[in-house]
């Protein structure tokens, strides 16, 4: 039997950059409420809200100092309740971000833990120094050491991310009890589930030195450990099973085998996961070593995960990734490729996640210097490169290509000043191209990328084959990605030309939906053209 979270399309809101309602330059909950109609019109059924909790914003809300409250920048708990109620009127459910690998160092638990006040003393991972050195050789996700010495407690604490994000200690059962209380608090309010931040690294089996690696030394001690699986099972049985909700795990460095375990409906851990492999098709090892986008690698990894898992969380953009029309195509082909990626995202097996602005084909930022960037990761990386004498122009080249701020620029609602995101000064500059790339101009244009998303969302809603059909890759080359979805006696064949060249293919027939609005397809694809061919089970 299908579930509501399999039927619906998710839209991710990065609140800081979505819509400001009071002119302070920061997006907020009332701003979101004012745009619900627009999301409803698009066909959105679920909103995933990036963190809106109180936070010193070292990592824009992914460093939480109070899990059961709302950051005053974003509004009040009353506003949040109103958002839930207004969204419900639009038949939109809300999923919260659950960040439980770490808290902020300004969370009360940490303040007390550093003073060894019970019961918080062992809420975090504390270690004395090792003969004047850090407790182990692990490295962090954010280009800084992952142990910081605390002058109050006179010990080091572990942080796999920034030093203002100390990791919680899941060897202490009290920590998991706190997490359960947080989850129940939000579920009782009526949220429909959680997007679980870096959820496969929360349990550290040991704190031994790790094998030296180019990235994430030490990760063999915390990546998808048995203890981690147990925690997920416990949360499912004791909390989640008592509500009509779902979870999507952000799982880092995960393989299809581990993904299968995490999503196995008998093991009962998560409902679906975000995998990363397809996002690595334009990098060597890490994103800072950028290379030309490899269409074959991209398509192969999508196909691999489609086959491996019964249900997947499909995405092409989020608040950590760059914009696809700039990244996986050429902005010259923004219109065509924006629509092509809509076809891809909405015709894969799984729940589709659209990131704010993706539906209008927003591009990477247009900044010209590091001074305009706010992302802590970019700032740390720049400092790291500077320390190693990398020249300024090269540092900027790397940051420009990889910064998470590329997708965090404010939403472009209109061609007005600051794109109508704010009447004040935006916390992060709006892209100048809002003059011609904006929601308003696309709303009534039947040829726009947004109208195309709307059509694709409606098509997916109408056809079970797009949601539940078996996936089979038919052809993958450096330019072409063709796959077939089969459900009962219907098949949809999706033909994507992910290149700026015209292509001849053997596929032809009646077109269900095309980025170029064709009725009949003769086997010739334009640059970045995408089509869906409808057929019977035994065709092709
Ligand atoms: O963004 C990344 C690389 O640029 C990833 O490695 C990212 O750090 C990783 O996917 C974890 O992301 C999540 O947790 C982080 C937070 O900064 C991200 O925004 C969040 O999506 C720490 O909470
Ligand atoms: Ca505001």
Q: Would you list the DSSP string of 375-389?
A: -HHHHHHHHHHHHTT
Q: Could you tell me if the CB of 427 is within 6 A of ligand 1? A: no
DSSP 305: H
Q: Which of 59, 155, 178, 197 is catalytic?
A: 197
Any residues with CB less than 8 A from the CB of 75 and at least 6 apart, and which? Answer: 28, 29, 30, 52
Tens digits of pLDDT across the chain (540 residues): 799 999 999 999 999 999 999 999 999 999 999 999 999 999 999 999 999 999 999 999 999 999 999 999 999 999 999 999 999 999 999 999 999 999 999 999 999 999 999 999 999 999 999 898 999 999 999 878 899 999 999 999 999 999 999 999 999 999 999 999 999 999 999 999 999 999 999 999 999 999 999 889 999 999 999 999 999 999 999 999 999 999 999 999 999 999 999 999 999 999 999 999 999 999 988 888 889 999 999 999 999 999 999 999 999 999 999 999 999 998 999 999 999 999 999 999 999 999 999 999 999 999 999 999 999 999 999 999 999 999 999 999 999 999 999 999 999 999 999 999 999 999 999 999 999 999 999 998 999 999 999 999 999 999 999 999 999 999 999 999 999 999 999 999 999 999 999 999 999 899 999 999 888 999 999 999 999 999 865 555
Say yes or no: CB of residue 59 within 6 Å of ligand 1: yes
pLDDT, position 443: 97
Looking from the CA of residue 320, the nearest atom of ligand 1 is: 1
Cα–ligand 2 centroid distance for 48 (angstroms)? 19
Cα–ligand 1 centroid distance for 260 (angstroms): 22
Alpha-carbon span 269 to 79, nearest angstrom = 32
Question: Is 375 near ligand 1, meaning CB less than 6 Å away?
Answer: no
CA distances from 361 to 68, 74, 111, 333, 340 (A): 35, 26, 43, 11, 11
Q: Which domains does the chain have, with CATH numbers?
A: 4-102+174-363+410-458 (3.20.20.80), 365-406 (no CATH), 470-534 (2.60.40.1180)
| Whole-number Å distance between alpha carbons of 531 and 520 | 10
Q: Cα–chain-centroid distance for residue 247? A: 14
Answer yes or no: is the C-beta of 274 below 6 A from any ligand 1 atom. Answer: no
Predicted pLDDT of residue 539? 55
Measured in residues, the chain has a length of: 540
**Ligand 1 pocket, residue 254 CB under 6 Å:** no
Q: Tokens 């870096």 label which residue? A: 198
Q: Whose CA is nearest to atom 8 of ligand 1?
A: 141
**pLDDT computed for residue 304 by the predictor:** 98
Tell me if residue 197 is catalytic. Answer: yes
On whether the CB atoms of residues 304 and 277 are closer than 8 A, the answer is yes
Residue nearest to atom 23 of ligand 1 (CA): 62
The whole-number pLDDT of residue 149 equals 97
Residue 418 CA, ligand 2 centroid: distance in Å = 14
Question: In the prediction, which pLDDT does 119 show?
Answer: 98
Report DSSP letters for 105-146, one per residue.
Answer: TTSHHHHHHHTT-TTSTTSB-EE--BTTB-SS--B-TTSSBS
Rg (CA), the chain: 23
Does residue 271 sit in helix, strand or coil? coil
Question: Tokens in use for 411?
Answer: 């939403």
- pLDDT for 1 equals 78
Q: Cα–Cα distance between 362 and 253 in angstroms, integer? A: 28
62 lines ligand 1 (CB under 6 A): yes
Angle at 349 between CA 197 and CA 363, to 5 degrees: 60
Cis peptide before 332 (omega within 30 of 0): no
Residues with CB under 5 A from ligand 2 (ion): 20, 22, 24, 26, 28
Q: How far apart are CA 540 and CA 236, in angstroms?
A: 43
Could you give phi then psi for residue 232, rounded to 5 degrees? -60, -40
Helices (H) and strands (E) in the chain, counts: 16, 21
């Amino acid at each position: 039997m299908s579930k509501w979270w399999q039927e619906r399309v998710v839209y991710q809101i990065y609140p800081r950059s979505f819509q400001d309602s009071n002119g302070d330059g920061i997006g907020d909950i009332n701003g979101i409420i004012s745009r619900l109609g627009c999301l409803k019109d698009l066909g959105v059924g679920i909103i995933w809200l990036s963190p809106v909790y109180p936070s010193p914003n070292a990592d824009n809300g992914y460093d939480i100092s109070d899990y059961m409250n709302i950051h005053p920048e974003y509004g009040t708990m009353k506003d949040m309740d109103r958002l839930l109620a207004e969204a419900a009127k639009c038949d939109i459910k809300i999923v919260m971000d659950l960040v439980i690998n770490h808290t902020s160092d300004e969370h009360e638990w940490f303040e007390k833990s550093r003073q060894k006040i019970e019961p918080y003393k062992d809420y975090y991972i504390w270690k004395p120094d090792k003969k004047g050195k850090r407790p182990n050789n692990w490295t962090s996700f954010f280009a800084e050491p992952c142990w910081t010495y605390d002058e109050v407690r006179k010990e080091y604490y572990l942080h796999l991310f920034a030093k203002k994000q100390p990791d919680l200690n899941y060897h202490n059962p009290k920590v998991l009890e706190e997490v359960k209380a947080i989850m129940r608090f939000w579920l009782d309010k009526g949220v429909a589930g959680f997007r679980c931040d870096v959820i496969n690294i929360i349990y550290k089996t040991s704190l031994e030195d790790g094998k030296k690696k180019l990235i994430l030394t030490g990760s063999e001690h915390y990546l998808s450990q048995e203890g981690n699986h147990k925690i997920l099972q416990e949360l499912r049985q004791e909390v989640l099973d008592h509500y009509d909700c779902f979870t999507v795990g952000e799982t880092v460095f995960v393989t299809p085998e581990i993904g299968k375990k995490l999503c196995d409906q008998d093991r009962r851990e998560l409902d679906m996961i975000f995998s990363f492999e397809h996002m690595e098709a334009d990098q060597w090892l890490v994103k800072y070593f950028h290379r030309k986008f490899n269409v074959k690698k991209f398509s192969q990894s999508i196909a691999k995960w489609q086959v491996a898992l019964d249900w997947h969380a499909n995405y092409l953009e989020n608040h950590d990734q760059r914009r696809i029309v700039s990244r996986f195509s050429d902005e010259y082909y923004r219109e065509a490729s924006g629509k092509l990626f809509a076809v891809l995202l909405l015709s894969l097996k799984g729940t589709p996640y659209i990131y704010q602005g993706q539906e209008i084909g927003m591009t990477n930022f247009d900044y010209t210097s590091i001074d305009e960037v706010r992302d802590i990761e970019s700032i740390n990386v720049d400092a790291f490169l500077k320390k190693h004498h990398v020249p300024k122009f090269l540092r900027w080249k790397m940051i420009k290509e990889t910064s998470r701020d590329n997708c965090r620029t404010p939403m472009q609602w209109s061609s007005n000043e600051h794109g109508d995101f704010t009447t004040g000064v935006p916390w992060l500059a709006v892209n100048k191209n809002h003059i011609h790339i904006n929601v308003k101009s696309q709303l009534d244009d039947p040829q726009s990328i947004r109208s195309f998303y709307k059509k694709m969302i409606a098509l997916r809603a109408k056809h079970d084959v797009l949601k539940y059909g078996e996936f089979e890759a038919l052809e993958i080359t450096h330019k072409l990605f063709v796959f077939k979805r089969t459900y009962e006696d219907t098949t949809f064949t999706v033909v994507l030309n992910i290149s700026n060249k015209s292509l001849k293919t053997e596929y032809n027939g009646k077109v269900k939906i095309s980025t170029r609005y064709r009725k009949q397809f003769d086997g010739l694809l334009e640059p970045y053209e995408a089509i869906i061919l409808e057929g019977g089970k035994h065709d092709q």
